[in-house]
Each structure stands twice: as C-alpha cells, then as structure tokens.
C-alpha cells in the first residue's frame, strides 16, 4: 500500500457515496477502489441503499401528496390508545360531575366546545347570509382594514382567505362575540349568489380541535383548529366540498399567517 492509499478513511468512503467530495478527492477514491474489491463492494452496497431510500422517498411523497393533510385526522379514527384516554377522561369527568352535581344541571356533555362552535357558525350563516343590505360590516373593498381590524380583535395574525379559484368572492366580514370572546365572520359569495361563511374565534375552552363535519338540517359545517384559532365553515355543501374549501383556507392560514409582514410585526 502506498501512503496515498493509507489516507483513505471510512468517512471518505461515505463522502464518496454521498457525492460530498471534490473531483480530486473523488478520483483518489476511485483509484483506491480499483485495487480494493472489498471496499468497492461496501461502497456499492451503500450506493444501493441511497438509491433505495430515494425510491422510498418518491413513493412516500406520492402517497402523501394525494391525501388531504390538515383535515385527515378528524375523518380518521384515532389510535385506540388515544380513544381509551378520551374514554378515561370522560369517565373521570362524569365521576367528578356526579360528585358535584354538575351532571344533574346538564353542564357536562361530550365535546361541548366543538358542538358549540359549529352551532355558532350555523346560526351566523342563517342570520347573515340572507341579509341583502347589511350582510357584513366591512366590505371586501377594504380588505386590508378588515384583516387588520379582525386580527387585532382576535389578538392573532389574521388573513381573509382568497377563495376565488374555488368560485367564491369575499363579500366582507364582521366582528361578533361568543361566550369565550371575540369572533370574526367572513361572508363569501358565488356568481350564482350562493353564500358560505367562515367563522373564526379563539379557543372556546379546552378541546382537541379535531376536524369534524356536522350537518345541521340542509346546512353543512366543517370545524377545525389551526394555530391559536378555531375555524368553522358553513354552507350548503357536502362534507367533501367543505373539506376542500377548508383545505384551501388552511393552506393560506399556514403560508399567509406564518409569513405575512403583519404577523411578524405583531409578534414583536
């Protein structure tokens, strides 16, 4: 062995496999592998691993790409362990409730926060979408002002989502209140005058914020949580239609809220 060959280390072989060497170092390893079949076999095995891992990545990416992300959890069954925990905590609450008499007063029910939220959205839908002159307080032509105003009121970065590509134009919005504080209502309208509303508020209380579809008569609602806010969409749509819209809203909540200059400023 020459001195040059002695300088080839295990790290060099990995760096060779991962393309992390400059051309000179690469040539040196190639020469070394010519005369060292065992190491050449190791390198080939590592290269096959990288190829297989890239193929696995492509296959997984394809698998995740087709499946809705944010809203999948509510539709899916939770792990049995989580369900068991939930059952246990409900049981504990019931015991507490029985002891203190809450149960008799009907305070405790399953997931009160979530059911409260979709009902609030449904009520807001019925109340405001039929209004011709005053469906909103601030119209879409003052969008910046609307977003700022509602964001300050909710004490969270707030972006009125664009749903134009889905066929809905923003009509405007208004500030509402519920038992837990301020709430924002945005009204959207299609070319055929059909409307939907997006109801946004702070967490009404403790809750998982699992995405959930609820039908209230002919009205559909889809409710979920993202970041510090809860969202509920209401409209004459089925679960899939609302989910698709919710997905768009969430994408914009992620990209718009995280990266908007307003949100950066407000965090300081």
Partner 1 sequence: MDDLSLQLERQIPRLRRYAMALVGDPTRADDLVQDCLERAWSRVHLFRPGSDLRAWLFTILHNLHANAARRYNSRPMEVSLADDSHVPATPATQGHAVVLSELRTALTHVPDDQRQVLLMIGMEQMTYQEVAAVLGIPIGTVMSRLHRGRERLRELLGGEPGGKRGRSE
Out of 94, 98, 152, 264, point to the residue binding partner 1 (CB under 8 A).
Answer: 264
Residue with smaller CB distance to partner 1, 6 or 104: 6
Cα–Cα distance measured from residue 47 to residue 53, given in angstroms and rounded to the nearest whole number: 10
Which of 112, 182, 227, 241 lies at the binding interface for partner 1 (CB under 8 A)? 227
Q: How far apart are CA 187 and CA 198, in angstroms?
A: 7
How far apart (Å, rounded) are the C-alpha atoms in residues 190 and 155? 30
The correct pick among 3, 34, 79, 130 for binding partner 1 (CB under 8 A) is 79
Gap between the Cα atoms of 194 and 237, Å rounded: 10
Q: How far is the CB of 198 from partner 1 (least distance, A)?
A: 18
Judged by CB under 8 A, does residue 144 bind partner 1?
no
Query: CB count, 10 Å around CB of 84?
Result: 11
Residue 206 interacts with partner 1 (CB under 8 A): yes or no: no
List residues bridging with 46 in a β-sheet: none
Interaction with partner 1 in 17-46: which residues (CB under 8 A)?
18, 20, 39, 42, 45-46
| Closest separation in Å from C-beta 7 to partner 1 | 7
Cα gap 113→23, rounded to integer Å: 62
Our finding on whether 132 is near partner 1 (CB under 8 A) is: no
Q: How many Å is the maximal CA-CA distance in the chain?
A: 90
Per CB under 8 A, the list member of 4, 31, 35, 72 interacting with partner 1 is: 72
Reported as type and span, the H/E element at residue 22 is none
User: Least separation, in Å, of the C-beta of 111 and partner 1?
Assistant: 19
251 binds partner 1 (CB under 8 A): yes
Half-sphere exposure of 193 (CA within 13 A, CB side): 3
Tell whether residue 226 is a contact of partner 1 (CB under 8 A): yes
Residue 9: CB minimum distance to partner 1, A: 5
Least distance to partner 1 from the beta carbon of 255, Å? 4
- Kindly tell me which of 73 and 119 has the beta carbon lying closer to partner 1: 73
Cβ contact 117:204 at 8 Å:
yes
Q: Select from 112, 117, 115 the least CA-distant residue to 102.
A: 112
Query: Could you tell me how many residues of this chain bind partner 1 (CB under 8 A)?
Result: 55
Q: How far is the CB of 209 from partner 1 (least distance, A)?
A: 10
Token output for 162: 């664009």
Distance separating alpha carbons of residues 126 and 154, to the nearest angstrom: 23
β-strand pairing of 219-226 with 229-235? antiparallel
Which residues would be at the binding site for partner 1 (CB under 8 A)? 1, 5-11, 14-15, 18, 20, 39, 42, 45-46, 49-50, 52-57, 59-66, 69-70, 72-73, 76, 78-79, 226-228, 251, 254-261, 263-264, 267-268
């Amino acid at each position: 062995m020459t001195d040059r060959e002695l300088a080839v280390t295990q790290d060099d072989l990995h760096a060779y496999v991962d393309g992390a060497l400059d051309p000179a170092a690469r040539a040196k390893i190639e020469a070394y592998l010519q005369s060292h079949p065992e190491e050449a076999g190791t390198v080939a095995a590592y290269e096959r691993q990288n190829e297989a891992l890239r193929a696995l990545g492509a296959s997984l990416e394809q698998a995740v790409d087709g499946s809705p992300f944010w809203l999948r959890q509510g539709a899916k069954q939770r792990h049995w362990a989580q369900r068991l925990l939930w059952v246990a905590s409900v049981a504990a609450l019931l015991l507490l409730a029985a002891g203190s008499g809450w149960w008799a007063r009907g305070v405790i029910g399953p997931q009160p926060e979530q059911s409260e939220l979709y009902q609030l959205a449904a009520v807001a839908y019925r109340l405001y979408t039929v209004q011709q002159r005053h469906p909103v307080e601030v119209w879409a032509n003052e969008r910046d002002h609307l977003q700022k105003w509602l964001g300050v009121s909710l004490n969270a970065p707030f972006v009125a989502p664009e749903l134009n590509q889905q066929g809905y134009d923003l009509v405007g919005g208004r500030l509402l209140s519920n038992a837990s504080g301020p709430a924002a209502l945005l009204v959207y309208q299609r070319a055929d005058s059909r409307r939907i509303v997006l109801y946004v508020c702070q967490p009404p209380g403790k809750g998982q914020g699992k995405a959930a579809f609820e039908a209230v008569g002919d009205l559909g609602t889809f409710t979920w949580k993202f970041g510090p806010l809860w969202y509920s969409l209401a409209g004459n749509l089925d679960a899939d239609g609302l989910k698709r819209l919710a997905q768009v809203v969430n994408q914009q909540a992620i990209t718009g809220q995280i990266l908007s200059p307003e949100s950066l400023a407000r965090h300081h």
